Amino acid sequence: MTAPKKAPKKSPTRKDQLRGVNPEIFAWSGKYDLPRFDRIEDRDFRPAFEAAMRAGLAEIDAIAGRKAKPGFKNTVVALEKAENALNRVSALFWNRAGADTNDVIRQLERDITPKLSRYASKIAMNGKLFQRIDALWVKRGKLKLSREEERVLERYWKGYVKSGARLARKQQKQLAAINERLAALGTRFGQNLLADESNWQMEIEGAVLSGLPSFLVQAMAAAAEERGLASRHVVTLSRSIVVPFITFCEDRGLREAAFKAWAARGENGGETDNRAILAEILSLRHRKAKLLGYENYAELKLDNTMAKTPAAVMGLLESVWEKAVAKAADEEKALAGLVAKEGRNHALAAWDWRYYAEKLRAEKFDFSEGELKPYFPLDQVIAAAFDVANRLFGISFKERRGIATYHRDVRVFTVHDHKGRRIATFLGDYFARASKRSGAWMSAFQSQHKLAGKGGKGQKPVIYNVMNFAKGDPALLSLDDARTLFHEFGHALHGMLSDVTYPSVSGTSVSRDFVELPSQLYEHWLMVPEILSKYAVHAETGKPIPKELVDKVIAAETFNSGFDTVEFTSSALVDMAYHMAGEIDDPMAFEAAQLKKYAMPAAIIMRHRSPHFAHVFSGDGYSAGYYSYMWSEVLDADAFRAFTEKGDPFDARTARRLRKHIYSAGGAVDPEETYIAFRGKLPEPDAMMEGRGLV
């Protein structure tokens, strides 16, 4: 009697692989393309990541193992549709890790980061998959691809090459180990920084407190209450509190204490010290660049950017630096004069600069930051940003209340085109809290694309902005805060107005030195007179900002610009120097040597000193790329001129070109090509220099 034949073993389906995991993480069931945040718990993330990575690898293996000849649809389009489960859980988790973390999330972040790195390495070094992509790349001229499809294919091919697809197996293993270690170190760097920011506070009372402006006193009270110190007032290292404190506090000793704590983040010894971490990061990055055939890490990162080479970046930064230092020297003399006028015999120190600059601003232009702030209530600035988007692009916003989000402070808006159709969902998370990392940023829960899928054709973008403004009743913004809101909303519009077919080139998926153009450009509309007259309304009196005050603000726009430019450019120069230098034994000594080389003014420090330079070391985003803010500033200064040359900041034809070529094009077109399509030419840095008052 013959034994029955065994049925062939079936590979687990995607549904099988995701079984046993909270389905809300993968199949969002909330309104407006949102998940039901109230149905997701911290404990759900770990099994969701494990299941999503298994499913993702199975999808990639299936694409790589196809017997049919490689084609754009069965390889590239298939890759564009793959890993949806991992994209979903990642979007939710990294939002929480940055905006509302806790011990459980932090531990999972440390655990999952190296696993995700190993996962990415497996895919990047999948030989069969790269063979298919390489075959398409070789015959790309015969494939009759659209311009966007050519860009998508190029992105895949270059991405795999940069990820080690053409390395020998031994070198691939070395690269995978480096990437895994870098991922873990970046996570630790960011967590250490958040710990230093969250754990420090300084209580203020008595006469010192009574000498501070009311908006700052309210913010300090709210910060104390959040930390369980009701009816007290604390300075924290949130930028929205510490900067106004060192600007307005008359007690020099307290200014010094707050400033030094702020400057020393990541450099306090013990478990949260970042100095050894950044040294190892720099060493590993250099090893990675050499493995991939580049002279240094800067060359690796600048490949496929607008700048293209370190020499081009340094040319811009050094030309600006020379002018900025000269202007800062003149500013320092003026501030030192105020110190002497008060009968004090100390030199101007870093914790004095903002304090005396504010005094000089008030004296020279007859207004203070405290006088200006009541005209920028948060809700009015939000409304102004929305109105500008409506005037330029014909879109409108409707707030939706009663929807569960990841934190009670988060607000939800639906975004509609001129016909009333919903085109996106926008979330705003505006206030500082101990569970949120510092800074401000834009990100997406899901990006726009037009690929057909289960739910029909494509998906609408779900975009969010995160800020760290101080709470108040009402919350009042400084002019810098208001610019930050407009800046991040410009990024949000880049995501919400995206109009491409493929996810990998959607929205902000552009080169690092182009991505800041839509955000920095949008800042210009904050100071347009008709926007100010409508929305800069006094929080108590309800009266619009007086024209005389606006004129003073405009006249003072380049005030202290030497200081601002030195702060920024020194950080960008050190970032580039680190990543051009090769092996560095002592990064802090290297930082000091670079600043000495460039004759850094003693009374100014880098905007981001190395141990808390999260842009560069808490992940890879802006490494050898912090310059991109200034590179984009050259673009945005020229781009806004397109409107001023028309005599109308809302000129309809210019706005249509702006939407088509800048805000909607994503990475589907080469950035130089799309900028020229908008403006007719590439810019020179003259407009940027003029805008900063450096020429």
Residue 539 located in a structural domain: yes
Verify that 387 and 483 share a domain, yes or no: yes
Write down the pLDDT at residue 615.
Answer: 95
Q: How many whole angstroms from its chain centre is CA 182?
A: 19
Note whether residue 311 is domain-resident. Answer: no
**Among candidates 417, 443, 418, 414, which has minimal Cα distance to 429?**
443
Which of 166, 189, 223 terminates a domain? The answer is 166
| Residue 341 resides in a domain | no
Percent of the chain clearing pLDDT 90 (strictly above): 93
Residues 146 and 214 reside in one and the same domain: no
The amino acid that residue 556 corresponds to is A
Q: How far apart are CA 384 and CA 396, in angstroms?
A: 12
Report whether pLDDT(578) > 60: yes
Element (H, E) at 620: none
Q: What is the pLDDT of residue 40?
A: 97
**489: enclosing H helix or E strand:** helix 479-496
Q: Which of 555, 586, 601 is the last residue of a domain?
A: 555
Do 162 and 205 lie in one domain? The reply is: no
* Residues 497, 396 share a domain: yes
- Determine, yes or no, domain membership for 204: yes
Name residues whose C-beta falls within 8 Å of residue 69's C-beta, 6 or more positions apart in sequence.
none
Q: Where residue 1 falls among pLDDT bands split at 50, 70, 90?
A: very low
Active site residue ranges: 488
The predicted model gives 443-455 an average pLDDT of 87
Residue 344, token pair as written in the block: 């004090």
Alpha helices in 144-294 (DSSP H): 147-162, 169-199, 206-210, 214-226, 239-248, 252-263, 275-291
502, 666 Cβ separation under 8 angstroms: no
Query: Over the stretch 631-659, which tens digit does the pLDDT of each residue have?
Result: 999 999 999 999 999 999 999 999 999 99
Phi, psi of 167 (to 5 degrees): -80, 160
Give the count of beta carbons closer than 10 Å to the beta carbon of residue 360.
17
Spatial distance between the Cα atoms of 64 and 71, rounded to a whole number of angstroms: 12
Residue whose tokens read 């409108």: 396
Closest CA to 458 of 398, 506, 393, 421: 506
- Shared domain check, 77 and 31: yes
Instruction: Identify whether residues 157 and 206 lie together within a single domain.
Output: no
Q: Are residues 154 and 258 in the same domain?
A: no
Q: Is residue 623 part of a domain?
A: no
Query: Is 298 inside a domain boundary?
Result: no
CATH number at 488 reads 1.10.1370.40
> Which run of H or E residues covers position 203?
strand 202-203
Residues 162 and 210 in one domain: no
Q: What is the DSSP string of 436-466?
A: S-SS-EEEEEE--EEEEETTEEEE--EEEEE
Task: Please check whether residue 152 lies inside any domain of the structure.
Answer: yes
Tell me which of 555, 581, 600 is where a domain ends.
555
Q: Is 70 exceeded by the pLDDT of residue 436?
A: yes
Residue 347 has pLDDT above 80, yes or no: yes
Same domain? 378 vs 458: yes
Q: What confidence score (pLDDT) does residue 8 get?
A: 47
Whether residue 175 is contained in a domain is answered as: no
Q: Are residues 111 and 233 in the same domain?
A: no
What is the domain count for the chain?
3
Question: Which domain, by its residues, includes 149?
Answer: 14-166
CA distance 244 to 235: 10
